[in-house]
Structures are given as structure tokens and as C-alpha cells.
Amino acid sequence: MKRGFSRLLAALTISLLVMVLVAGCGGQKKESAPSEGKKAEGKEPIKFGVIVPLSGSQAILGEEMERGAKIAVKQVNDAGGIMGRPVELVIRDTKANPDTGVAVARELLSQGINMYFGVASSAVALAVSPLMEKEKGVIITTAAHSDRLTHQNFNKHYFRITDNPYMRERAMAKLMAERYPNTTKWGCIIPDHEYGRSTWDNFEAGLKKYYPEIAKKELEIVSVQRAPYGATDYKNFITAVLNSKAKGVFTSEYGGDAVTMFRQAVPYAFFDKIDVMVDSANEFLVPKAMGNMTPPHWIGTHWYYEAYKDSPMAKKVYDEYVKEYKDKYPTGWVGEAHSALMAYKAAIEKAKATDTDAVIKALEGLTFDSVSGKRTIRAEDHQTIKDVNIIHVVPVKEEPGWKVDEFKVYKGDDLIEPPSPGKPLKLE
Amino acid sequence: MFRQLITKNFILLRLATAAIIIVLALSLPLWANPGITFRASLVLIYILFAASFNQLFNYTGLISFGQAAYFATGAYVAALYVKSGASLSGGIILAVIAGGLVAAFLGYISLRASGIYFAILTLALGQIVYQVIFKWPATGGENGLADIPRGTINLGLAQISLASPVSYYYLILICVSLGLFILWAVTHSNFGRILMSIKQNHVRASFLGINVRLYQLISFAIAGSIAGLAGAVYGPLTGVLMPEMATWIYSTTPILLTLMGGANFFWGPATGAVIFGIFEYLTRAMTGMSSLIMGLLLLTVVLAFPGGILGLVTSWLIGKPSIKKSSRNEGSAAASKLMPGGDVINE
Amino acid sequence: METLFLPLVNGLTWAMMVFLVASGLSLVFGVLKILNFAHGGFFMLGVYLTYTFIRNHALSPLKFFLIVFLCGIILAIIGAILERLIIRRFYQLDEAYMLIATYALLLVIEGSVEGIWGLQFLALPSPKGLGGGTEIFNTIIPSYSLVIIAAGVAVAVLLNLLINRSPAGKIIRAAAGDPDMTSALGINVPIIYTMIFAFGIFLAAIGGGIGAPNQAITPTMASSFIIQAFGVVVVGGLGNIGGAFLAAIILGLVDSFGTIYLPQIPGIAFYAAMALILLVKPHGLFESSISTK
């Protein structure tokens, strides 16, 4: 009986694996086939490597990027491809792990694919970026916010299509000075590592610049709470902020940690006791999780579709997303992955070539149309100058329990730091 | 008939297999593309990492759930040394020493306990190593280290650049072969035989005047330095290190590879690493199901072929079950018969 | 006052959360001699299943805990089936194989949760009337923290009564201590094993349901809780539920005060305390109370 069972289990597992393998390969073929491109058929396709985290704790970012990329490819192919050639995506899972990221990138590089986009974690980006330099590839990241990528560790083969923390935090600080001039006591709950500290440093620098300038008020930082990364209990930090009488609170906790922090703050009536809460990192993740428990707060986002209602491109991406994924709230990562392909399209059409050197040259200083209006890629450090979107969410009675009641758009040119590739970022 | 033929020529068969593997390993970068060469380099590192675990598990009778901490120690020491502008050869030697020293220190603490308590202590101490790497500015903290150069290796007369994936593959091949040779020599030495006698019955061993803890500690330190060696060549391969490498989740990797390949065999961890590497390559286009598939695969191996792949192959070739008997119930065979599930696997 | 009282309550809340996971873990180890990685997976399944029934409705406490109980029963049945099909094949395995087999099961559960519920983070509302704060000693304490603490203490007391004071407890202790003899006395040991395993899963599942309003619900939450529960079970002495209770409190308070007074090294306090206790008492604070060997 025992042997029989073991064999049965083995047979089951093996057949499952075979099924999955077949499905995996089949699915790959299907997804990379050009979608009924009318004019684009018959020519050799242009291939892009999409390397995103699709398992592990960052999978939720990777999934949204993959969706944005697929929508972009469908639209490009429907409109005749790039220079008459159809576009194909080869999607790979980085597992948010640098060695897997390098392994999949190397594999695709050796198949002759030279253009890449995606990547959520800075560690993966820091591993893949020098590889691109060495192996003559080019990558546009759609998250990965460590400032080292465009400063100390910069190389010509790396591009960032998104806004960076410097721009976003400054925009949010400016908004606070404009809208809450009387909120002069500020505090924060941030993850205790470089990303957390640098977002706060940028935000604090912004507050110190804009409060005297715009609100004509002196500013006081009353509580800086650094929570250990991956903490399961934020109550001690929450009470510390409350006791400090801070009226404005900033957070860059992210993912599940942010949801835990927001959730645990509810019983303290935390959000009733402060004037304003600012989340710089989580797009729609917190409201989507919290539903009708969502407190009113401001969220920094890469792309908010309503802000670009008049743009046909934004509307098409939004409609396609809603239709395809049955979800009315695409996060900014959808827009960033879409924009990465749009940048490639514009660059290839400008250069009339797809080889790495020509594409890099064309990308530098390129201005192109994206779901959030015109974007310009700065030639010096390959950081994109683009709008920063900030949204305000409030709880409502009807499903899903929250809505966006206001948004603000800040132009990137006024906010961005001066380029200093090769040198560390300096805060004023 | 067929089996008899194999049994008769078993040594010949093994020699032929060894020859094929050596030729394949040596020639791989010449016919494979850089993507596969990179994956093969990773597999080689995992072979050594897993073998260092099996030195403890099968040849000393200790379960370490903190092996990744020594791997990470070696990796960080070598990477920091190379980043300071020095050569990788020095970094490798330092990594071996550092892995051994940290393992000796933490092993000294862990060895106060035994069995599952020992395993959990190695896990806890490994997590402390992780926290130290995570918080320490010198290690780059939570961002890890990036841009780790490979540099050159000094061979007296000639300086060989390691920048190309091919030359670096051969460096890894040499280091891994060396590490495996050391482990092989240890397990086949007098020292190794004493370790095995401790594993089988540590009470008897201590009656015979053997300092059980000292022997276990030396074995733990050796395993730590070999894990450090594997870590040392890992950093420059990917160019990036992150503190998560030291966590218990990463410590499960060598365990999985070892059990999959067959813990009772010296070449078991290697077999597991190679098979797993091939499996990962074949499933690379599948996205988002890795934990489910990994779990099912592992469950199948542990339940259906507890001797691992090599156990399965051996029993198929020579018709002799080579499945390890549970040592847990050794004391009371009768009890295990009465345990639910009834029959003992190899009886 | 506040600086001492608040971390005390927070530490105790954390401790009881972990104890709810650890109690089943310790019970199953005491009887079946299995240290079950997958236990964290069942804790997570308890969270997700409870969420599926409740979603964003703030229910009355009675309804809420009834649903949690029901989810516990459902998962206990699944646990019993799993025990008969798979887990009992682990009993004859060597310790390392057993750890790995249950770890494999944890991976399978994690993969399934991702497949069924998706990657989205979730949050569960507290039962009506328990979502706010209560003022004690001029300090606001989340009411639900008190619920978690009470639940932990209740589980500890009930388990103690069940094992040490009830006829069923006698049989459990007998089966744990000497399965051969118990079997010779005409008691069906395999059935007892199935029931104990299912009961352990029940404890994990209700622990998940009770704790769900206290944190984010993510498909990766199992791993973090299982390691803390392992620590608690081992420090308390494998198989000793009272020991696990005490260990949870010690480690919970160390962790809570650690984050306040040693903010430079967050996260280390827990592991350092664990290693320190095991250094002094290599086999935990107490011997197993279930199987007295």
C-alpha cells in the first residue's frame, strides 16, 4: 500500500510538472506572438527582455509591470509595430534576487536580445546594470529607486523611466506647505534602512525649503521613528509619534509592512488626531488592502490615469487594463512599464536602428509621449524628467470603501536634482 | 541479466561516468552560450555549498540550519577585500579563514545542544549574522554591495584577467574541485572515520576516549570554511551581494539540494545541485509558480525516494535498496512498526 | 508609567499571537515528534479563510469568533485528511527529512495561497466595538490587543486542563510517552495521532483568525511567524506547552523593550535572547510535559 501510494504521488507530481512545463512553453509562444498586427506581419520581430519579480514579496509590483508591458506591446503591434516590425516580449522572473536576475539577463543576452526593461528591486538593478555595460545591452528600470544607480554606480547602459525619491518627496513637501501651512510639527515612521532614510531626508529637506518659502512658517521635526525592516508590530512607533504631538506624518514603509502599520494605527484613532498623513511608496496597495478602513491620506504615485483624462494614450491604457484584468485601479507601475516601451519605440524610430549604441544615443535627451504626458530623458545621468502625481484618498460608504477625491500634478523640471553621474547625491 | 552485467562492471561504470562528467565540466564554456555558462557557474558554487552542509549532515550527524551565514561571511569578506583593490586570490584565502572562524565560534555555542535544539540554535545564530550584515555600514547594510570586481589572479609569471565569464568559470571550477577534494579527503581520513563513529553512537565514542564535542567542532569549522570558499567566488560572479543571503531561507537551499541528490552519497549534493540547475533552466519561462512546484518536487523526493536521486539510481542499477533507515527510531524498531503508516521503508 | 506600560502590553500582544501558533506546534511535537514547518502555513490559511467569510464587514464579536471557530474546524478536517494521506509518512523519517518534508508542505501551501487569493495585500476589520482603543493608566491600548492577550491565556489554560486534568489527556500523554504500550492496551494510537494533528491545525487556524485584524494579510506571512513560533517552542522546551507560554512572554517582552531601548539593533534582541537562554539551558526551559521520558 505504502509503495503504491508513493508511486502514485510520484506519478502525480511528475505529470503535473510535465503539464506545467508544456503549459509554460505553450504560453510563452502564445504571448510572444504578435497580436494580429496588420502591417507588421512577415517581418522579423523586435524582441525586448522584460525582467520583473513574479514570485516572492515583490511579486505584486512585477505583476503590474508585466501587465503594463503586455498592454503596450498589444497597442504597438495593433498600430503597425516599430518601423513596420512587430514587437515581442520575452518575460522572465527575477524572483527579486540579484543572481536570478543576472542569470535570466545573461540567458537573454546570449540569445541576442539587447533591450530590456522592468526590475523592481535596487539590488537586482545594481547587479544587472554593470552586466548591460559589459555585454552591450541596455536597460530601462520601471522602479529601483536607489539613487546610486544614477549617481555613484551610474553607467551609460542604464536608464530610469520613473520619477526618483528626490523629485517625489520634494513635490509632496511642496504640496504640504501649500495646503497645510499651519501644520508645522512633523514626524515620520520609516523603515530603518537606506531607502527609508533617504526618502525622509529628501522630504525633510523639502519641508525645510518650502515651509519658510510658501507658508512663511518655521518648521519643527518632532519625531523620527525608524522601525526595523519587516517588523510585525508598529504600535510602539505609532504611540511615539502621537505623544510627540506631530500633526503631519510621513511614511515610506512599503508593501505588507505599510498595511500592517496603517492597520495598527486605526485603534488609536491616529488619523483623527493628526492633520495629514503622507504615504510616499505604495501606490494603491494600502487602500486596496484596507477597503473601508482606509484613512484620508496623500499618496505619491508614478501615474494617476485621471490626471491625464484628455490624453488618448492614457485613456486607452486604462480602458485596456480594466477590460483585461477586471480591476479599476491600475497602479503607477502599469504606466511605467508602458512608458518604457514607448521610450524604446521613440528612440528606435529616431535612430532607425535597434543596436545598443544607436538606441542609447537616441534615448539620451529623448522627449517622447507617455501615459503621463511628455517625458524627457536627461542625457547626463539618464534620469527621466516627468510629472510627479500625488493623489488624495478618502473612505466612502460604497464599494470598494475608498475613492480618490483629489489629485495634484507637479512638473518634474522644477523639482529634479542637478545631474551628477558618478558622484553621490547631495542634499542641500 | 542486465543488472548482473552492471554489478560486475560497477567500477568501470563509475569511472566512465566520472570521465564523462570531467570532460563535460571542462569543455562546457567552449560549446555553451554565456547564459548557460553563468548558470553552470552558479551550479558549481551550489555544489560546494551543499557539500559543506553534507559534511555536517551525513558525515558528522549534525543538522545545520545556518549554513548560509558562513557562505555570506565568506562572500562579504572576499568582496570587501577585492573592492579595496586587492586580488581575488587573497580574498578567497581570507574568506576561507573567516568562514571557518565564525563557524568555529558559533559552532562552539550551538554544540552545547544537540538534535533539533542544535538545528534551531544554528538558525538563531545565523539570523544574528544576518542582522549584523544588515545593520553594519561597512557591509553596505540592507543595500548590500554592488560592483564587486573580479580582478585578476596572479600566477607568478602571468596575470590572468577574470573578467570574461569563461575564465571566471574555470576559476570557480578550480576552487570548487579543490573544496570538494578537501571534503573528500576529510571524510576518507582517520578523522572522518572517527566522525562517523560519533554519528553512529556518540556515547560509545566518548567511552572510547574521543572528545566528541571537539571533533564535531572541528568538522563544523571545516564545513564553515568550505561554505566561505563557495561564498568567496559567488560575489564576483554576480557582482552583487545582499544581506538576505545569510538568512535561514537561504540555509534551506543546501539542505534541499543534498536530500534531493542523496545525502548518503558523497556526490549526492552535487547531483542534487546539477538536477536542480537543469530544472530551473527548463522552468525559467514559467512565472510565479516556483514555490508550489518546488514544494511538490521536494515532497515527492522525500516521500517516494528518500534515498534521493542517487539512491534511486543505485538501487535500480544494483537492485539493492540503499535507503537510509531512520536513526530516530533505531532504539525501538518495534515502536516504528506500530507507528501509524505501519511498515518501515526498507524492511 | 507610559514608557513601561505600553511596551508591556505590546510585548504581551505579540507574545500571545506567537503563542497561539506555538501551542499547536508544541502539542504536535510532544505527541507526534514532528516539528512542523507547515504549521505556519495553516496559520496563514486560517487568516485567509477567515478573511474570505468576513471581508470588509465589521461583525459582532459573537459572529466574528463563530466564524473563526468554523474556519478552525474546516481546516482541522483538511488537516486530518492530510495527516492520513501524507503526514503519517513523515513519522518514520529522520529528523532532518521530517523538517524538510514539512518545509516542502509549507512551500506548497504558500504557492496555493498565492494561486487562490492572489498577491494583493489584505486587511481585516475588527469585530464591532473592539476596533477602538481603551484607556488604561492614561495610556491608550487598542481594545483588540486585550482580546488577543485574553485569547492566548484562555488557550493556555484550556490546553493545560485538557492534557493534565482530563481523561482524554491521560490517553494523549500515554500515546506520547509510550505508543507501544498504549497500543497494547487496545487504544487506537493512529487515530489519536490523527486527532492530535487535526487539533494542532485547529489551534493554528484560530490563532490566525484571531490575529488577523492585528496586521496585514500577505501571502508571505507564514514564514515570519513560523520562525518566531519555532523559537518559542524550542526555548520553552519541545513539547512543553506551559514552557512555550512562558517563553513567548519572555521573548515577546525582550523584543518589545528591545525595539525601544536598543533601537540601533532592531530584530537582534529576539534571536540573542533565544540563543542566550539555549546557551544556559541547552534543552529549553522545561522538559516535555506531555511525554515524560
* pLDDT, tens digit, 9 for 90 and up, residues A316-360: 999 999 999 999 999 999 999 999 999 999 999 999 999 999 999
Q: What is the pLDDT of residues B248-286, one digit of tens each?
A: 889 989 998 998 899 899 999 999 999 989 888 887 776
- Residue C138's φ and ψ, nearest 5 degrees, are 60, 20
CB-nearest partner of C271 from B128, B289, B303 = B128
Count of alpha carbons within 13 angstroms of residue A408, beta-carbon side: 16
Q: Tell me the pLDDT band of A39, cut-offs 50, 70 and 90.
A: very low
Rounded CA-CA distance A96/A123 in Å is 8
Dmax over CA atoms of chain A, in Å, equals: 82
- Are A293 and C218 within 8 A, CB to CB? no
Rounded CA-CA distance A247/A277 in Å is 9
Neighbours of chain A (3+ CB pairs under 8 A): B, C
The span from the first CA to the last CA of chain C, in angstroms, equals 45
- Asked if the peptide bond before residue A400 counts as cis, ω within 30 degrees of 0, the response is yes
Q: What is the pLDDT of residues A219-232, one digit of tens each?
A: 999 999 988 776 77
Give the distance from CA A70 to its chain's centroid.
Answer: 16
Q: DSSP label at A418?
A: P
CB-nearest partner of B345 from C92, C103, C234 = C92
Q: Does C190 touch chain A if contact means CB atoms closer than 8 Å?
A: no
Rounded CA-CA distance B161/B158 in Å is 10
Of residues A26 and C68, more confidently modeled: C68
Residue B329 has pLDDT above 80, yes or no: no
Residues C119 and A59 sit within 8 Å (Cβ to Cβ): yes
Q: Tell me the pLDDT band of A6, cut-offs 50, 70 and 90.
A: low
- Are A259 and C123 within 8 A, CB to CB? yes
Counting one residue from chain B and one from chain C, the pairs whose CB atoms sit within 8 A come to: 155
How much is the pLDDT for B269? 95
Helical (H) or strand (E) element with C42 = helix C39-54
Dmax over CA atoms of chain C, in Å, equals: 61
Buried b (16+ CB within 10 A) or exposed e, A181-213: eebbbbbbbbbbbbbbbbbbbbbbbbbbbbbee
Residue with cell 496555493: C112
Most confident listed range (A2-11, B8-17, B188-197)? B188-197
A52 by DSSP, 3-state: which?
strand
- Are B288 and A98 within 8 A, CB to CB? no
Of residues B151 and B91, more confidently modeled: B91
A59 Cα to chain C: minimum distance (Å):
7
Rounded CA-CA distance C190/C167 in Å is 18
Q: DSSP label at A213?
A: I
Q: Does C56 touch chain A if contact means CB atoms closer than 8 Å?
A: yes
Ranges of residues in chain C with a pLDDT under 70 are 1-2, 263-266, 288-293
Q: DSSP label at A41?
A: T
Instruction: State mean pLDDT over B178-193.
Output: 94
B19: amino acid identity, one letter: A
What value does the mean pLDDT of chain B take? 83
Strand A276-279 vs strand A115-118: parallel, antiparallel, or unpaired?
unpaired
Between the alpha carbon of residue C242 and those of residues A254, C150, C194, C288, C289, the distances in Å are 37, 16, 23, 9, 8
CB-nearest partner of A236 from C140, C142, C259 = C259
Write the burial class of residue B334 (CB in 10 Å: 0-12 exposed, 13-18 middle, 19+ buried). Answer: exposed
Most confident listed range (A382-396, B198-212, C101-115, C130-144)? A382-396
A394 by DSSP, 3-state: which?
strand
Strand order in the sheet with A220-227: A220-227, A185-191, A248-251, A276-279, A297-301, A388-395, A402-410
Q: Give the helix, strand, coil percentages of chain B, each rounded to 5.
A: 75, 5, 25
Rounded CA-CA distance A367/A369 in Å is 7
Residues A289 and C123 sit within 8 Å (Cβ to Cβ): yes
Of residues B141 and C152, more confidently modeled: C152
Q: Tell me the pLDDT band of A32, cut-offs 50, 70 and 90.
A: very low
Please state whether C231 falls in left (phi above 0), alpha (psi between -120 and 50) or beta: alpha
User: Vertex B317, ends B312 and B320: CA angle to 5°?
Assistant: 70
DSSP track, C257-279: HHHHH-TTSTTHHHHHHHHHHHH
Q: How many CB atoms sit inside 10 A of residue A134's CB?
A: 15
CB-nearest partner of C95 from B115, B127, B298 = B115
Q: Could you tell me which chain A residue has the CA closest to the CA of B33?
A: A110
Q: Does B85 touch chain C if contact means CB atoms closer than 8 Å?
A: no
Tell me the residues of chain B between 275 and 294 that have a Cβ less than 8 Å away from chain C: 288-294
Question: What ranges in A309-355 are assigned the alpha helix state H?
Answer: 312-325, 332-351
- Are C234 and B120 within 8 A, CB to CB? yes
What value does the mean pLDDT of chain A take? 89
- Are C234 and B115 within 8 A, CB to CB? no
Instruction: State mean pLDDT over B108-112.
Output: 89
Q: Could you tell me which chain A residue has the CA closest to the CA of C260?
A: A236
How much is the pLDDT for A38? 45
Q: What is the pLDDT of residues A266-281, one digit of tens each?
A: 999 999 999 999 999 8
Rounded CA-CA distance C179/C239 in Å is 16
Which residues in chain C have Cβ-Cβ distances shorter than 8 Å to A271? Answer: none
User: Vertex B9, ends B5 and B12: CA angle to 5°?
Assistant: 145
CA-derived radius of gyration, chain C = 19
Residues C207 and C20 sit within 8 Å (Cβ to Cβ): yes
**For testing contact with chain C, the best of B109, B122, B128, B289 (most C CBs within 10 A):** B128
Instruction: State mean pLDDT over B237-249.
Output: 88
Rounded CA-CA distance B19/B24 in Å is 9
**For testing contact with chain C, the best of B112, B116, B247 (most C CBs within 10 A):** B116
Which residues in chain C have Cβ-Cβ distances shorter than 8 Å to A56? Answer: 220
Residues 6+ apart with CB under 8 A from A353: A359
Q: Could you tell me which chain A residue has the CA closest to the CA of C115?
A: A55
A234: amino acid identity, one letter: Y
Q: Tell me the pLDDT band of B3, cut-offs 50, 70 and 90.
A: low
A86: amino acid identity, one letter: P
Count of alpha carbons within 13 angstroms of residue A258, beta-carbon side: 27
Which residues in chain A have Cβ-Cβ distances shorter than 8 Å to C213? Answer: 263
Q: Could you tell me which chain A residue has the CA closest to the CA of C267?
A: A228
Write the burial class of residue B163 (CB in 10 Å: 0-12 exposed, 13-18 middle, 19+ buried). Answer: middle
> Length of chain A, please?
428
**For testing contact with chain A, the best of C12, C119, C225, C260 (most A CBs within 10 A):** C119
